[in-house]
Structure 1
Amino acid sequence: MTEVGKGTAPMNAAVSSRWRRMVNLAASAAVAMLALVGCKADVISYDLPSESARYTFQAETNGVKTAWEYTSDRPAKPDTPTSQPCIADVVVKETGLCRPEPLIFLRYDLGLGLDNTAKASGLHPITVTGYYQDRLSTPPTVTDLRVEASFDGGKTWKSAGTRAESKNTFTARIEHPKRDKAPEGVALRITATDSAGNNVKQTIPQAYRLR
């Protein structure tokens, strides 16, 4: 059985199988990534085939939309430390190998003031870090990060230059317009891809405002 994280969202390709994977993906995932909102966690189970397949997992929390695409199959060996047992073993009481799913989560340092705003008219740096669930002992490496910003409520998007700073951590420089050109604040759309071909796309409709 394979474990994901916390939250509620639809998953595609959910078909009958004797191989059960517990999905317990945090709806607060979008928040852990931004630390702006919170949501209680639910435990959801899906029956998935044991063969390797590509899956899409989607979640929305307070308008923040996150979509993961990843490859999953039946584990060849268990990948959960004894100090942190598999949630599926505890909740479903099914025997079998268990490991977390390789979902990329995002953590942000938006460089904002105490009022959660950033200065208008100029380049503004932000830092984005990709990470995985703690139980995944050998996670992939985030190899590519794309940052887009919108100042008109998501009608149009402008790419920001990004640079790798350290493992799984990137900086982006967003060119802010004048404050009156972004009355709805700054929206962000982040896409990250790892060395295993998994990816995540997160859209934050109002990440912060300009001052």
Structure 2
Amino acid sequence: MRKRFIFTLCSIVIVGLTPIILGGNLPAGDHIDQEQTHCDRFWSTNYPGEFAQSFKPTVKTITRIQLYGFRNNTPGNLRISIRDSLNGDDLTYFILHPDMVDTFPEWFEVDLPDINITPGDTYYIVWAPLSHTDNISNCYWWGDNFGSPGHDAYPDGIEYRLGDAKQYSDFCFKTYGYSIPDVTILNPIDQSNVSGIIEIRGNAYDSDGSIERVEVKIDDNSWI
């Protein structure tokens, strides 16, 4: 009697240049996505004034950012957030305390709660002092690059100081994130029961780089 083998296609994973853990878990690490690292000068603002820098990500998840600046003496707390519109609500934010920023210029970490975003859309890093008592002697300074026509250090974004766009100028920043590679199974249909010899067809895409290989897992068997 001819035996009939039936299995359910459980999952499929692709491996690209972004490090991932098989089985659909989070990546082992993030990487720099967008950056502007040239510094010519520094700017400060007091509550309720805000600075901002727009950028266009290529990843789907932002994990953290780094900013280049320093503090004078002991100002109050500083709120760093990401928005999808300049004057909109914060998508994620982190409160910096004075001891997290040095008194001389350096890159400092802003470990934001991770957010999912849309690659290619415009987002804003917003710098907002929170203390009513900050002044020129007790404040934070953010470094920027003074651009000019034909010399824009970061053409995918723009600097905003107190709501005014400063064409060709950009604050110093680095965004970090990752994108889990995408796979779409075209055949067979997800969770369908099949028998015999089956051709598995699909599309794979990695926005961080190229696809190195595709692996398939059937039931509780090993990845192949």
What TM-score does the superposition give when structure 1 sets the normalisation length?
0.29
Q: Higher RCO, 1 or 2 (CA under 8 Å, sep at least 6)?
A: 2
